[in-house]
Homo-oligomer: A and B are copies of this chain.
Amino acid sequence: MSKQYKITSWLLPALAAAAVFFLPTTQAMAQQSPPTGMPNLLAEVSPEMFTTNNLWVLLAGCLVFLMHLGFATLESGLTRSKNTVNILFKNTMIICIGLLMYALIGFNMMYPGEWLVNGWLGWGWGITRSGEDFLTSKYNEGYTWYTDFFFQAMFAATAATIVSGAVAERIKLFPFLIFTVLFVGISYNVTGSWKWGGGWLDELGFYDFAGSTIVHSVGGWGALIGAMLLGPRIGKYAADGTTQPIRGHSLPLATIGVLLLWFGWFGFNGGSVLSADPGAISLVLVTTSIAASAGGVTAALTSRYVSNKPDLSMVLNGILAGLVAITAGADQMAIWEAFVIGAFAGVIVVFSVLFFDKIRIDDPVGAISVHLVCGIWGTLAVGIFGDKGLYRGGDVAGSQLWWQIVGIVAIGVFTVILALIIFGVLKAMNKLRVNAEEEYDGLDLSEHDMASYPDFQQTWIKSYDTGEL
């Protein structure tokens, strides 16, 4: 009761504050005609080309949006049905909170018009623009300001979604939403600004095309810290040292999730070209597909060697591993390089899952192995394969691998510290994890008093029949 009361006592004022902050800078707009028209102020690109570029980046943003449905179905499919409502609730709220926080402060922190600390920390409120300003994005003349926001906002929320899977089945709802607000609202944007906002890592020569590090390993570090501080689910690791598998309740849901994520990744990577440049986007979609396919095949083979059976959940994770790994360099890999990067990701994801089980870090969906481990691998791969800095006129070639490592470590250290602070404070307040009885009953009952499949969960009938709306 008291826990839930706080959801409203904290969030409502925050939202009211949000409304206030949106307000002031938008007054100008309400008195103007709706912002339409061509960017005739841009001499470099024809109105037709601007329109097509803008359309593709918007569509790519729509595809990235669909990845949230992919995550929701994947994560609920790979966990037990007694926690399904909770997972769906979290994943749905992450999109809503993520988009609002990114509009409120995230976009301006990540792509700073002005830096508070030059190259390290940006700041700004709201996203409203009007008139001709509206037709210019921050970093590209190929699409509008709102297209820029739309595409980047859809990206932002994915970082928190990655964490969601690793902490599933035992984290309290409200603290997780607090974490989401801070992680999407602050942490993701600070580290993102270092590269994509033109900050210090960008200056050095670190390269991360669509976010193997900036999105996926950031989410993966959050997942690792969350899973460590929470501890494993009850029953996962027996006293005798053996691991008990806790099967996900619906492999159709999980498969829907992975194929939707692959589909959405065409927007994630393809849209990161930031234009509809035919050469670049067609190469990116092909390298993305080849890496995903290779990851799926090698994960199938590896899991067959390791566990003596063709494991569907490993194939699914192998596909995601290939996708995460190619993301850092999807725009500059040859076909064989995409194949090797994806194939290797499909192998290491299997051993990584085994490793984290061995050291007893319980990650219900394998998010740490997929997003952190393969995100690091993909980022390193940009220093091993591809152009290795040649795209920058050759001035950082040779040292590309070094700058990749610097980027991985810098972003990792910052993210780990922030996640440690957020999760640590919540844990110190004893608000991080549900108690054993709630965990046994399932979070759907304890946190929501709703059943995910009431017709098929007979033991629940009493509970939901007596509930009120």
Check: A334 CB closer than 8 A to any chain B CB. Answer: yes
Instruction: List the one stretch of A91-99, A116-124, A218-226 in contact with chain B.
Output: A91-99
Check: A332 CB closer than 8 A to any chain B CB. Answer: yes
Contact A450 B319, CB 8 Å, known A34-B332, A279-B144, A281-B58: no
A335→B18 CA distance, assembly (Å)? 11
Which residues of B lie under 8 Å from residue A266 when comparing CB positions?
A: 62, 65
Contact in complex: B243, A469 (CB < 8 Å)? yes
Residue interface mask A362-401, B partner, CB < 8 A = 1: 0000000000000000000000011100110000000000
Which residues of B lie under 8 Å from residue A144 when comparing CB positions?
A: 278-279, 282
Contact in complex: B89, A310 (CB < 8 Å)? yes
Check: A51 CB closer than 8 A to any chain B CB. Answer: yes
Contact in complex: A335, B173 (CB < 8 Å)? no
Interface positions of A from 31 to 48, Cβ below 8 Å from B: 33-39, 46-48
CB within 8 A of A49: which of B34, B48, B280, B311?
Answer: B48
Q: Give A160 Cβ to nearest chain B Cβ, in Å.
A: 14
Contact in complex: A22, B252 (CB < 8 Å)? no
- The interface centre, meaning the residue of A47, A59, A467 with most chain B CB atoms within 10 A of its CB, is A59
CB within 8 A of A450: which of B82, B247, B263?
Answer: B247
For residue A20, which residue of chain B has the nearest CB? B336
Check: A410 CB closer than 8 A to any chain B CB. Answer: no
Contact in complex: B146, A282 (CB < 8 Å)? yes
Check: A171 CB closer than 8 A to any chain B CB. Answer: no
* Copies of this chain in the oligomer: 3
Which residues of B lie under 8 Å from residue A451 when comparing CB positions?
A: 247
A263→B65 CA distance, assembly (Å)? 7
Contact A146 B343, CB 8 Å, known A100-B297, A292-B96, A304-B8: no
A315→B84 CA distance, assembly (Å)? 15
A396→B59 CA distance, assembly (Å)? 35
Contact in complex: A39, B247 (CB < 8 Å)? no
Interface positions of A from 319 to 373, Cβ below 8 Å from B: 319, 331-332, 334-337, 339-340, 343, 353-354, 357
For residue A53, which residue of chain B has the nearest CB? B51
Which residues of B lie under 8 Å from residue A331 when comparing CB positions?
A: 34
A281→B276 CA distance, assembly (Å)? 17
CB within 8 A of A249: which of B29, B290, B455?
Answer: B455
Check: A468 CB closer than 8 A to any chain B CB. Answer: yes
A72→B251 CA distance, assembly (Å)? 12
Which residues of B lie under 8 Å from residue A54 when comparing CB positions?
A: 276, 278, 281-282
Q: For the side of the interface on A, what is the size category? A: 35 or more
For residue A129, which residue of chain B has the nearest CB? B335
Q: Give A177 Cβ to nearest chain B Cβ, in Å.
A: 9
Contact A357 B30, CB 8 Å, known A282-B150, A286-B149: no
Check: A76 CB closer than 8 A to any chain B CB. Answer: yes
- The interface centre, meaning the residue of A39, A145, A250, A319 with most chain B CB atoms within 10 A of its CB, is A250
Which residues of B lie under 8 Å from residue A135 when comparing CB positions?
A: 278-279
Check: A453 CB closer than 8 A to any chain B CB. Answer: yes
Contact A279 B96, CB 8 Å, known A65-B263, A335-B127: no
A38→B45 CA distance, assembly (Å)? 12
Check: A430 CB closer than 8 A to any chain B CB. Answer: no
Q: Give A339 Cβ to nearest chain B Cβ, in Å.
A: 6
Check: A434 CB closer than 8 A to any chain B CB. Answer: no
Which residues of B lie under 8 Å from residue A300 when comparing CB positions?
A: 7, 93
A39→B278 CA distance, assembly (Å)? 9
Which residues of B lie under 8 Å from residue A336 when comparing CB positions?
A: 19, 22-23, 26, 128
Q: Give A23 Cβ to nearest chain B Cβ, in Å.
A: 5
Contact in complex: B252, A7 (CB < 8 Å)? no
CB within 8 A of A278: which of B50, B255, B307, B312?
Answer: B50
A132→B259 CA distance, assembly (Å)? 33
Contact in complex: B452, A150 (CB < 8 Å)? no
Contact A35 B280, CB 8 Å, known A81-B455, A247-B454: yes
What are 12 contact pairs spanning A and B, CB under 8 A?
A: A11-B297, A30-B386, A35-B279, A62-B266, A66-B263, A72-B259, A76-B252, A80-B455, A92-B315, A95-B293, A127-B286, A311-B469
